[in-house]
A and B are shown apart, each in its own frame.
Chain A
Amino acid sequence: MAWETVIGLEIHVQLSTRSKIFSGAATAYGAPPNTQACAIDLGLPGVLPVLNVEAVRKAIKFGLAIEATIANHSVFARKNYFYPDLPKGYQISQYEMPIVSRGKLAIILDDGTSKTIGITRAHLEEDAGKSLHEDFHGMTGIDLNRAGTALLEIVSEPEMRSAREAAIYMKKVHTLVRYLNISDGNMQEGSFRCDANVSIRPMGEAKLGTRTEIKNLNSFRFVEQAILHEINRQREILETGGQVAQETRLYDPDRNETRTMRSKEEANDYRYFPDPDLLTVAISPGDIELIRVELPELPDAKRQRFIGEYALTEYDSDYLTANREIADYFEQTASAALTVYASASQPHNHNTAKLSANTIMGELSAALNKHNLDITSSPVSPEMLGGMIRRIEDNTISGKIAKQVFEAMWNGEGDADTIIASRGLRQVTDSGMLEALVTEVINAYPDQVDQYRAGKDKVLGFLVGQIMKKSQGKANPQQVNDILREKLKP
């Protein structure tokens, strides 16, 4: 039987506010346990929450970026349940009136087609603390540093039809929140994690199957694997006449399987009700416009612009716009590379743009990977890289020599011009000098010259190689080719 998969994601994004959503305590990651939890985070008797306006601004930014409705009035509600790392016995969240609703996000599937995923809502809430089960001799330790950190929970419509689509969507949201600078998106530190709701139904069936919820997936790979596993599990159950139980499941990446966390019967009744300690959040159209003008160029727009403005391929544009830092690096490199050619009629030289893209995706990305560095901490700045590309473009160096120059720049020997000068890498373009070299080689390899003249074209490459070698790579290859062909003419 053919089955259709139905997936919806709830993504939890930790907002990069300096203080917590309802208290003044700091949010920095990795501090010693319970050193970043104030009286409010501890839920001491008598304390009251005060909303961090920055969190609201960040939520609005996200809402605008997904073309959603921003609520003029939104309400914080209490989600009541007992857990040791939940200090107040309730989480302040949003329930009936979230700040963001009815948005959408376009994703590009592997076959190149585009699909729009509906986003039901995005609401603000506070994070809980952490339970620490090691080091306490059979007891549990509680670290409340994370308690009260601002989260945006982004709930999609159940519109994804494969594990791959879910992973692509999650990546897209990740790219977006980083572009908007509303989250550091750090998945290892839990700043970006998701729960997946998965069900399957016979192809063509309108009614949804019973779903399970897989909790706390913190990598794109895990999302895909966990969902794939869950689809197979559900299919096996249904094909052997069983019924899928509505439950919450945990994914174990080591064993690549999901297992029951709690059943529907054990599910909490959260007893949501509006938090009487907080006022309704009123947002005027004017407030929204002020935030709209601050929005950066979004990934899709940037991608289209790169294709149009720099004549890049879709593949290159995708790569370069995957995050804002790479995109910025590229644009700075391309503009540094092109000073010579820039004019009003031709603001970008497509050739330098392509060279910039190739170098970033090639040498630079390899070097960054090798040293495990982020592009923002690259020892080669975009200006330096652009300077090097300019020297390729104006034939001062060849592409091959450029690799040497790049390595030297990476090692801190200065910018391209300094390195070219100090290492004497300037390309030889003096035709007198080149002709002398060519003659020398023709004389040294009479057999090969005969072979070429007899029609063995491949031999030309060998001869060019010898000439280049004699020039220590500095001869202009194109010129050498031209001169050689000329001299070998019968």
Chain B
Amino acid sequence: MHNHTLTELSALLRSRQISSVELTEHFLRRSEKYNANLNCYITLTADMALAQARSADAALRQGGAGPLTGIPIAHKDIFCTDGIRTSCGSRMLDNFIAPYDATVVARLQQAGMVLLGKTNMDEYAMGSSNENSYYGPVRNPWDQQRVPGGSSGGSAAAVAARLTPIATGTDTGGSIRQPAAMCGITGLKPTYGRVSRYGMIAFASSLDQGGPLARTAADAAMLLTAVAGFDPRDSTSADQAGEDYSAALTRDISGLRIGIPKQYFDANLAAEIKEIITTAVRQLERAGARVSEISLPNTHLSVPVYYVIAPAECSSNLARYDGVRFGYRCDQPQDLADLYCRSRSEGFGREVKRRIMTGTYVLSAGYYDAYYLKAQRLRRLIRDDFHTAFSNVDVIIGPTSPTTAFRLGEKVDDPISMYLNDIYTVSINLAGLPAISIPVGFVNGLPVGMQITGNYFSESRLLNVAHQYQQMTDWHKRMPAGFN
């Protein structure tokens, strides 16, 4: 039952071959069973899930059901869920019961989906390994000594191990695509503004974007169709209706112009990964795509620019966690300064504090111009690189991550090396573009992801290319051992 895609599950539910309650119970059982090892979930919401499944079954019986009705889902614990703890992977919000639903959550609930639980993540989405969670690291289902990637590591591992058919994630610098790559699944970061950020706890507001972590491009398309579209509660959400992202999946890709950035294939990229990506591109070429080399000359700037802008925004976004109104408050504060100082010192973890300090520094009087302002200028250069590239190609293809999943603890004391893991993903957020990561092979039993990037609002195209690739290959069907 847990190997079905969303399309298959949808058909089974509508033809009443299975009920949502059966399906939900099945995934809850698996989640409970394997969570002890993988630590994918921070909170399982079994009772609520079963109640939602029962109403989904009623809707399915009465004919009021949509394509997603009755299908279970897990939300990254960054999305506010009314009445359910929303921790953001932090001690700071360990006691925070959100009093409202994020727009993404509300839309999927409206679509009839069943919430299994909230998935583990790097604290406040800051991390590339899911080791920065207050609730402990998530383990990669392909090798439990390894990280699942981050920050949406819980969602990626849960989908890979078939503990949920699909999950939501957020992506500020690669947090959907990199864990999707490391866990061998499909992860889509939509265009900035495509999916509402309302109720999605902010890390870096100008970069954050929610999206699906799924088994297939077709599944991701179904989910995106349900969540995309203008939200009056998010001023930065794009003022245009969503589309049916499933409609163009089957389109022929002959004539597709693929650009290969030469900067992505330099010495930093492991040779085995390079080989696998090249093979995958050749596969697309055989299906009629035309490949050319392109240049994204400012690629080397993207990590430093990102690690100025994202911390700057986070230092301000996280100022509200002050122990006054909600969240963690230190014991027996002596005065206001003590309340602030201890609540924040004790409530936040190391990486979050590192970024708050970096961000505070780059915005400070005397440093603003040299860091923040300069980073904003370089951000424009990075965006212009893509703009130029897209005048000649339809999609840009490269690796999602320079390495496969690394060992737990391997990089925790080396933040720079950890940050460099984001080299191929962060520039996409800086430019606000959509990109999808799909599994394209294995190195030493560990999945490798390929990133397909498109122009603004070209999600349909990306899903189409990814789907066509998945029609020709079966990497996305591989399942880690030990989860049957």
In whole Å, how far is B475's beta carbon from the nearest beta carbon of chain A?
35
Using A51-B235, A84-B336 as known contacts, say yes or no to A89 and B319 having CB atoms under 8 A apart.
Answer: yes
Say if the beta carbon of A237 comes within 8 Å of chain B: no
Interface size on B, residues (CB 8 A): 44
Say if the beta carbon of A90 comes within 8 Å of chain B: yes
The reply to whether A45 and B98 contact each other, CB–CB distance below 8 Å, is: yes
Residue of A nearest to B207 (CB): A276
Contacts of B368 in A (CB 8 A): 271, 273
Say if the beta carbon of B93 comes within 8 Å of chain A: yes
The answer, among A45, A78, A269, for a CB contact under 8 Å with B80, is A45
The reply to whether A45 and B88 contact each other, CB–CB distance below 8 Å, is: yes
- Interface 1/0s, chain A 302-313, versus B by CB < 8 A? 000000000000
Using A45-B80, A50-B235, A271-B364 as known contacts, say yes or no to A78 and B99 having CB atoms under 8 A apart.
Answer: no
The answer, among B99, B197, B363, for a CB contact under 8 Å with A273, is B363
Say if the beta carbon of A88 comes within 8 Å of chain B: yes
Stretch of A36-44, A351-359, A395-403 lying at the B interface: A36-44
- Interface 1/0s, chain A 260-302, versus B by CB < 8 A? 0000000001011100111100000000000000000000000
- Provide the bound-state CA to CA distance between A148 and B325, in Å: 16
Contacts of A88 in B (CB 8 A): 319-320
The reply to whether A48 and B99 contact each other, CB–CB distance below 8 Å, is: no
Contacts of B325 in A (CB 8 A): 42-43, 87, 142
The answer, among B232, B235, B336, B365, for a CB contact under 8 Å with A278, is B235
Say if the beta carbon of A433 comes within 8 Å of chain B: no
Say if the beta carbon of A366 comes within 8 Å of chain B: no
Q: Which of A15-50 contact B (CB under 8 A)?
A: 39, 42-50
Say if the beta carbon of B322 comes within 8 Å of chain A: yes
The reply to whether B372 and A273 contact each other, CB–CB distance below 8 Å, is: yes
In whole Å, how far is A135's beta carbon from the nearest beta carbon of chain B?
18
In whole Å, how far is A78's beta carbon from the nearest beta carbon of chain B?
5
Stretch of B126-134, B136-144, B198-206, B298-306 lying at the A interface: B198-206
- Interface 1/0s, chain B 375-410, versus A by CB < 8 A? 000000000000000000000000000000000000
The answer, among B79, B199, B204, B322, for a CB contact under 8 Å with A47, is B199
Say if the beta carbon of B422 comes within 8 Å of chain A: no
Q: Is the interface of A mostly helix, strand, loop or mixed?
A: loop
The reply to whether B319 and A276 contact each other, CB–CB distance below 8 Å, is: no
Contacts of A45 in B (CB 8 A): 80, 86, 88, 93, 96, 98, 201-202, 320, 326-327
Using A43-B320, A44-B99, A89-B316 as known contacts, say yes or no to A269 and B365 having CB atoms under 8 A apart.
Answer: yes
Contacts of B96 in A (CB 8 A): 45
Contacts of A276 in B (CB 8 A): 204-206, 236, 313
Contacts of B80 in A (CB 8 A): 44-46
- Provide the bound-state CA to CA distance between A462 and B80, in Å: 89
Say if the beta carbon of A341 comes within 8 Å of chain B: no
The reply to whether B198 and A84 contact each other, CB–CB distance below 8 Å, is: no
- Interface 1/0s, chain B 303-343, versus A by CB < 8 A? 00000000011011011101011110000000010001000
In whole Å, how far is A126's beta carbon from the nearest beta carbon of chain B?
14
The reply to whether B235 and A48 contact each other, CB–CB distance below 8 Å, is: yes
In whole Å, how far is B468's beta carbon from the nearest beta carbon of chain A?
35
The reply to whether A90 and B319 contact each other, CB–CB distance below 8 Å, is: yes
In whole Å, how far is A77's beta carbon from the nearest beta carbon of chain B?
10
Contacts of A84 in B (CB 8 A): 322, 324, 336
Contacts of B201 in A (CB 8 A): 45-46
| A-B CB contact pairs (8 Å), 20 listed | A43-B320, A44-B80, A45-B88, A45-B96, A45-B320, A46-B102, A46-B198, A46-B201, A47-B199, A50-B233, A50-B234, A51-B235, A78-B316, A80-B319, A80-B363, A82-B340, A84-B324, A87-B325, A142-B324, A273-B363
What 3 pairs between A and B have smallest CB-CB spacing?
A89-B319, A276-B206, A276-B205
* 7 other A-B residue contacts (CB within 8 Å) besides A43-B325, A48-B197, A88-B319: A46-B102, A48-B234, A51-B235, A88-B320, A90-B319, A273-B363, A277-B235
Interface residues of B (CB under 8 A from A): 79-80, 86, 88, 93, 96, 98-100, 102, 197-202, 204-206, 232-236, 312-313, 315-316, 318-320, 322, 324-327, 336, 340, 360, 363-365, 368, 372
Interface residues of A (CB under 8 A from B): 39, 42-51, 78, 80, 82, 84, 87-90, 142, 269, 271-273, 276-279
